[in-house]
Amino acid sequence: MLRAFFLFLSRATWAKNLIMRWGFSRRAAARFIAGEQLDDAIRVVAELNRQGLFATLDHLGEHVTTPDEARRAADDYLVILDRICASGIQSNASLKLTQLGLGLDDALCLDNLRRILRKASECGVFVRVDMEDATTVDRTLEIYRVLRSEGLKNTGLVIQAYLFRSQADVRTLMAAPTRIRLCKGAYREPAHIAFPRKSDVDLNFDTLAAMMMDAALAHGSPPASADGKIPALPAIASHDEKRINFARRYAEQIGLPKTALEFQMLYGIRTDFQLALAQAGHTVRVYVPYGTHWYPYYMRRLAERPANVWFFLSNYLRS
């Protein structure tokens, strides 16, 4: 019930206008957001690198309403890529296609992503295309396939374990192979297309992780590059220790080296666990969001974990 409530709020304009006016909500969100400006995010990534962690930068934003907004979002990513290259930080980039015009003008979205990937390839930066709600999955996969067919291979996708279709998608994508980030899923989906019970999502997550690792081993998955910019296959994105420990055990069981497996976590959540995994010799990449459009992202974080809701309420009480 609580999860559904916050997912509803993440798309409610009236709630966004109200909550973003509260000073305490901005302070609470700062735990999970690297700042509102690119300079803030660059500093955060540099500190993560100093601790032995890699990063992926995400300029927050989604569901633009005009072609000009979509083009500006793409232009912003060109600036981000320039800064990643110039600063020497060890970071990829992540983005959402609705931020680039998906659903508004799919041809424009394709062109925007093409521009970004071409720029990223100039300095060897990998760009991850985030998966959004289930209505966008097929179009996201199609845009990915078109750009791969054009030779732009410095990109990968996200697969969400709560969708029934994900096993078939992973099977198809790993035949290429594709660089996949596996996550549980953070959107509100109807019961006829997604597992409603957490236990079923967890089981599917482990099944998908094993499929990805088997495929990585079969393809002779290369290790991550020395600077960490090109991620290994696969990427396991979770803070759930049971899911992570399953992946570690399974990789050891099949003989997949640590350099061919990457764990990804969110900025501001379980930093202690992130550091412990890195110290154990695993590649750990932190998803670092920044920007002024933090509201939907933050609401989805509240929906995921009761502890995050208490953090929000404690800030409210202090205010």
Q: Which residues are catalytically annotated?
A: 130, 181
Phi, psi of 30 (to 5 degrees): -60, -20
Q: Which residues contact 209 (CB under 8 A, 6 or more apart)?
A: 182, 234, 236, 243, 246, 247, 250
| Distance, CA of 126 to CA of 21 (rounded, Å) | 36
Burial 278-302 (b: 16+ CB within 10 A, else e): beeebbbbbbbbbbebbbbbbbbbb
Q: Which residues contact 105 (CB under 8 A, 6 or more apart)?
A: 67, 70
Is the dihedral angle over the CA atoms 272, 5, 208, 233 positive or is it negative? negative
Q: Any idea which residue has 């060109």 for tokens?
A: 78
